[in-house]
Amino acid sequence: MTKLHLFLAVLTTLLTSYTQAQKIDIQRVEPLHWWIGMKNPTLQILVYGKDIANSKVTLAYPNVKLLEVVTVENPNYLFLYLHIMPEAQAGKLPLKFKQGKIEFTHNYELKNRLKAGEAYKSFTPADVMYLLMPDRFANGDKSNDQIAGMAQGYDRKDDFGRHGGDLKGIENNLDYIKDMGFTSIWLNPVLENNQPKESYHGYAITDFYKVDRRFGTNEDYRKLVETCHNKGLKVVKDVVLNQCGNEHWFIKDLPMKGWIHEFPEYTRSNFRLSTIVDPNASNFDKTLMVTGWFDKHMPDLDERNRFFADYLIQNNIWWIEYAQLDGLRLDTQPYPHKEYVAKWSRAILNEYPNFNIVGEVWEDKPSVVSYYQAGKKNPDGYDSGVPSITDFPLAFAINGCINENDGWDSGSSKLYYMLAQDAQYSNPAGNVIFADNHDISRIATNFNQDIRKMKMATALLLTLRGIPQYLYGTEINMKGPGDNHGILRTDMPGGWEGDATNAFTQKGLTAEQIDLQNYTKKLLNWRKNAQAIHAGKFMHFLPNDNLYVYFRYTDSETVMVVVNNNPNDTKKLDTKRYAERLNGFKNASNVLTNESADLNNLSVPAKTVAIFELKK
């Protein structure tokens, strides 16, 4: 090598290292932006990039202070904590990163809020929630079925594959949902699930700040909520605090120990919610319930970690504020650390005091489910702060009532005894009630598509206390077994080009399907204005001779519901038994037939639920 060659080689090396060092590598800054005027003045900003921890960070912006710059075990992370004073104005915060002589400025945006936190309304017992799985409802945009670089492609033949449903498909059918009489929609999670298989359901999130591109963009999601609001529909977002997908970017480069629950070998949760409530449970069982993984491809997050705890609370607030949401559905409420859930719910309700959150608590006993509802006086003093819970015990009782003949504790007695336990709940009227959902067998399967039973379940759901949730497709008698989720979450007919039947237009539906759909539509639209159902008290009478009778009533309105659970016989009502609530009423109007009825001569056909508005 000549001197010149040596000189050139040294120069090249120096230039290369200089050029590399020129760049401060910032790959992610989360939250993507924030707002002024939030009640909590503290903001955590996660900065991710190669060796970003070697940076000195400074900020000069009026009324915003950089409180803390935290480095952690992994040098690719920095956690910045800012204090945003009430006087701070919207604008771009110049976050200056300096490594040696190299500087880089990231302009972090603080926006104005569209409305105050108090102005956010939420779902109430006046609402009925339509639950739909975005991948399985309607394919409104074929161009996003297959996205280059995403792990799982389109395969409609695979029950566990991606079927191409998307946000555009939902938007295209909002008028159907609205005309049916539903007032809100709950979408299973829409955030990115870039997992190699079974990614369609959305519960293995790989980016907490990005809508899955196969559904659309963040902006598409925001616009969908806006369109819903313009049509008078509310939107409830499904959120997951317990786990994420193993392809999540931060799982592949963990910030520190204690971000997730790690074990020497794969360790599953015992899935026994009772251990958390049980005064006799071992710590071993309690701990495994919360720290064990849900599935091999779903790492269990440790919400006790200060940095992760803040990250996740802010993430949920970010989506509420960005998309102007109307409520949250919290997935697997008993699985994250319960102290964290209480902290999380209070942080959300601090910003949005009129907000509603429903926690999923999948158990068949009110004593266990009620433990997780805000305001419950638990022996251990725990209060989750989550206003609503999913009433699984009632779902099982509704199914049992309709599918069994009446006996001492079977058939309608099963429903009666379940509702007799309402004192367990701090607010039973706030429970989200349902007969089926995306995880348990569809009622059309349970009832073998018996149209009488389908109508009974609909009538019960729309008149009992609570906030009804309806699973997409149930209104057209769609089947789906609980032990095969891929088929349970089947495609809504009419959502795909070339579908032979179309639930939205009734094309190709059987007369029975149309009958059930029209029945559901009629009751839903009646319920919209039924004050006694929204806000009325509930009183029921012991089932007698296959008849179960209950009342919903306010000072000015009374609705009487008569369940005839006999499979063969029309039953005449002995109204004297119900004098306590019938006193003063002379006439009744049958909500389903619009016919007036004589209170002294009321008959209800076999296996039906009759609904009467009482008149003085």
Beta bridge partners of 479: none
Mention every residue, 6+ apart, whose C-beta is less than 8 A from residue 519: 455, 458, 592
Closest CB 472 distance from Ca ion, rounded Å: 17
Q: Given the DSSP bridges, would you call strands 327-330 and 234-239 parallel, antiparallel or unpaired?
A: parallel
Nearest to 522 by CA among 69, 181, 275, 83: 181
Closest CB 173 distance from Ca ion, rounded Å: 14
199 near Ca ion (CB under 5 A): no
For residue 505, what is the DSSP state?
T
Nearest to 327 by CA among 39, 114, 124: 124
- Write the interaction track for Ca ion spanning residues 157-176; mark x where CB under 5 A is met and - where it is not: -------x-x----------
Whose Cβ is closer to Ca ion: residue 218's or residue 445's? 218
- Residue from 144, 291, 333, 427 touching Ca ion (CB under 5 A): that is 144
Which residue in 135, 310, 331, 436 is the catalytic one? 331
Beta bridge partners of 162: 154
Closest CB 139 distance from Ca ion, rounded Å: 4
Q: Is 278 a catalytic residue?
A: no
Whose Cβ is closer to Ca ion: residue 156's or residue 522's? 156
206 near Ca ion (CB under 5 A): no
Whose Cβ is closer to Ca ion: residue 496's or residue 519's? 496
- Write the interaction track for Ca ion spanning residues 250-269; mark x where CB under 5 A is met and - where it is not: --------------------
What tokens appear for 462 in the block? Answer: 């729309």
Q: Is 331 a catalytic residue?
A: yes
189 near Ca ion (CB under 5 A): no
Cα–Cα distance between 608 and 566 in angstroms, integer?
Answer: 9
Closest CB 476 distance from Ca ion, rounded Å: 22
Distances (CA, A) of 607 to 105, 343, 414: 70, 47, 16
Closest CB 145 distance from Ca ion, rounded Å: 5
- Write the interaction track for Ca ion spanning residues 298-337; mark x where CB under 5 A is met and - where it is not: ----------------------------------------
Closest CB 249 distance from Ca ion, rounded Å: 24
What tokens appear for 286 in the block? Answer: 């309690």
Distances (CA, A) of 576 to 212, 546, 599: 59, 17, 10
495 near Ca ion (CB under 5 A): no
> Count of residues binding Ca ion (CB under 5 A)?
6
The footprint of Ca ion on residues 555-584 (CB under 5 A) is: none
Whose Cβ is closer to Ca ion: residue 224's or residue 415's? 224
* Segment contacting Ca ion by CB under 5 A, of 9-17, 136-144, 198-206, 419-427: 136-144
Which residue in 166, 360, 383, 475 is the catalytic one? 360
Whose Cβ is closer to Ca ion: residue 166's or residue 613's? 166
145 near Ca ion (CB under 5 A): yes
For residue 423, what is the DSSP state?
G
Cα–Cα distance between 479 and 482 in angstroms, integer?
Answer: 10
155 near Ca ion (CB under 5 A): no
Whose Cβ is closer to Ca ion: residue 141's or residue 391's? 141
* Segment contacting Ca ion by CB under 5 A, of 5-13, 58-66, 140-148, 423-431: 140-148
SS3 content of the chain, % helix, strand, coil (to 5): 30, 20, 45
Number of H helices, E strands in the chain: 18, 26
Runs of H (alpha helix) within 167-305? 167-172, 174-180, 218-230, 249-252, 274-277, 283-291
Closest CB 213 distance from Ca ion, rounded Å: 10
Whose Cβ is closer to Ca ion: residue 147's or residue 281's? 147
* Segment contacting Ca ion by CB under 5 A, of 62-70, 138-146, 290-298, 420-428: 138-146
Cα–Cα distance between 19 and 85 in angstroms, integer?
Answer: 39
Whose Cβ is closer to Ca ion: residue 214's or residue 607's? 214
What tokens appear for 195 in the block? Answer: 């997992």
Q: What is the number of other CB atoms lying within 10 angstroms of the CB of residue 8? A: 12
Whose Cβ is closer to Ca ion: residue 104's or residue 496's? 496
* Segment contacting Ca ion by CB under 5 A, of 76-84, 131-139, 427-435, 446-454: 131-139
Is the Cβ–Cβ distance between 30 and 311 less than 8 Å? yes
Whose Cβ is closer to Ca ion: residue 166's or residue 207's? 166
φ and ψ at residue 318, rounded to 5 degrees? -55, -45
* Segment contacting Ca ion by CB under 5 A, of 156-164, 265-273, 470-478, 588-596: 156-164
Q: Which helix (H) or strand (E) holds 452?
A: helix 451-461
Nearest to 83 by CA among 112, 40, 123, 47: 40
406 near Ca ion (CB under 5 A): no
Beta bridge partners of 330: 239, 359
Closest CB 190 distance from Ca ion, rounded Å: 13
For residue 6, what is the DSSP state?
H
* Segment contacting Ca ion by CB under 5 A, of 112-120, 143-151, 218-226, 573-581: 143-151
Closest CB 439 distance from Ca ion, rounded Å: 24
DSSP characters over 455-470: HHHHHHHTTSSSEEEE
Question: Dihedral of CA 601/605/607/610: which sign?
Answer: negative
- Residue from 139, 173, 206, 565 touching Ca ion (CB under 5 A): that is 139
Residues of this chain that interact with Ca ion (CB under 5 A) are 139, 141, 144-145, 164, 166
- Known catalytic residues are 331, 360
